[in-house]
Homo-oligomer: A and B are copies of this chain.
Amino acid sequence: MDLTTLTHTELSGRLTTLREEYGRLRERGLNLDLTRGKPSAGQLELSRPLLDLPGEAGHTAQDGTDTRNYGGLQGLPELRAAFSEALQVPVDQLVAFGNSSLELMYEALVDAVLFGLPGGSAPWPREGRTAMLCPVPGYDRHFAVCEKLGIDMIPVAMTADGPDMDEVERLAADERVKGIWCVPKYSNPTGAVYTPETVRRLAAMETAAHDFRVFWDNAYAVHHLGEGAPRLADILSLSAGHGHPDRVFVFGSTSKITMAGSGVAFFGSSHANVSWLLGHLSKRTIGPDKVNQLRHARFLPGAEAVRAHMERHAELLRPRFELVHDVLDKRLGDSGVASWTRPRGGYFVSLDVLDGCAARVVELAKEAGIALTPAGATFPYGKDPHDRNIRIAPTYPSLDELGDALEGLALCVELATTERLLAAGRPA
């Protein structure tokens, strides 16, 4: 039923029905969560062997390093080799460090703020206000780092091909624009994959800032949901080829490959940028947890092992994403008040509802025991100018719970949009 074509009377009748249904939903006392991109317990089970690796006899790395002791700031070579292909970064330009790629992004930005970047002339604040381009909708934790560090955020529209590159190129001509956040594959939350042309333009474009950086958060590099995964263009090589060897900071992690809190994070870039980061890290710490890196290298010894492992994740995730589309198609497919993405990988579905309704949908869902990411979270400063985007994270709940949550969410969308259409005034 296309709600946008209904008369006032029809809508009023529909509202009464929806409110009754919503009352019954609330009475169920649900306690469901669609907020965060967390792997399910079943996914974590896929990495069960990690829990007793490396084993009592196995603490020595291929190069003879006793992984238990201090040192090895750049991370274990065999683990970097295992993830070099997936992250499209040569082994010697890859750093394996800590359990959180967000931490490496934060570190890179703090170091830019405190000390400045290769190619730059000073710590960022000394040059006045600085800004990052933020494709929207995007990842709230990226935006939170900018907000915390006093870096302005300039939204740029995401398309199915990646960020609006005309706009990106136009804005990059302003020297206070220092970088852009990118989740190039299965973007958070839309699931878009940057096309080769988008990647080429990011690599080739002129920027006013000499220390402009593409923050390439390739969090879902190998997180396909099925066959025929798109191949991302190799931005590091392309940038070097276009005379911008230091342009790109690649980030990745095994958080959604092995164990979310106990994985390994990666940073990849030019030799100059790697030296820059390691120079700063060397004052911060003596080195990362190499035993955990060895554990990972034993479990996933190369690109083929990673691919096979990710296929098992896909088997668990596919039914969840299919359920999202099934429920939303059924309840909202012809409603005229909602549209959503159909990603081929990653962790999210991006749902757009009628302008001005997202916050109300989230509120209604919350009162019915269904937790959603706060409306606006996918925009800088938590402010969605159209109040329409909602991020759905279907990976963590059980299939039954997910079905209940999605049915409830769809109902809340119908209810909120019907309220809105009525308030806006309809033909009698």
Contact = CB atoms under 8 A, between A and B. Distances in A.
Contact of A69 (B58, B261, B287): B261
Contact of A292 (B110, B144, B262): B262
A288 interface: yes
Nearest to A44: B68
Interface in A68-124: 68-72, 98-100, 102-103, 106-107, 110, 113-114
A55 interface: yes
- In the complex, the 3 A-B pairs of residues with the closest C-beta atoms, listed nearest first: A262-B291, A52-B52, A68-B259
A241 B201 CA distance: 62
Interface in A280-313: 280, 283-292
B53 A283 contact: no
Contacts of A106: 283-285
A83 B141 CA distance: 32
29 contacts: A39-B69, A41-B69, A44-B68, A51-B54, A51-B55, A51-B58, A51-B291, A52-B52, A52-B54, A68-B259, A69-B260, A69-B261, A70-B260, A71-B261, A72-B261, A99-B285, A99-B288, A100-B284, A103-B285, A110-B110, A113-B114, A145-B284, A148-B280, A148-B283, A261-B287, A261-B288, A261-B289, A262-B290, A289-B289
Given A106-B285, A262-B292, 8 more contacts: A51-B56, A51-B58, A52-B55, A52-B56, A102-B284, A102-B286, A103-B284, A106-B284
A59 interface: yes
How extensive is the interface on chain A, given as a class? Answer: 35 or more
Given A283-B144, A285-B100, A290-B262, A41 B66 contact: yes
A177 B410 CA distance: 59
A116 to B, nearest CB: 13
A68 B283 contact: no
Contacts of A107: 284
A48 interface: yes
B110 A114 contact: yes
Given A67-B262, A72-B261, A261-B69, A114 B149 contact: yes
Given A262-B292, A284-B106, A289-B99, A56 B49 contact: yes
A28 B246 CA distance: 47
A36 interface: yes
A159 to B, nearest CB: 29
Contacts of A38: 69-70
A262 B54 CA distance: 13
Contacts of A110: 110, 114
A289 B69 CA distance: 18
A51 B44 contact: no
Contacts of A72: 261
Given A58-B51, A59-B51, A286-B100, A70 B292 contact: no
A261 B290 CA distance: 7
A288 B262 CA distance: 8
A54 B292 CA distance: 13
Contact of A259 (B113, B261, B291): B291
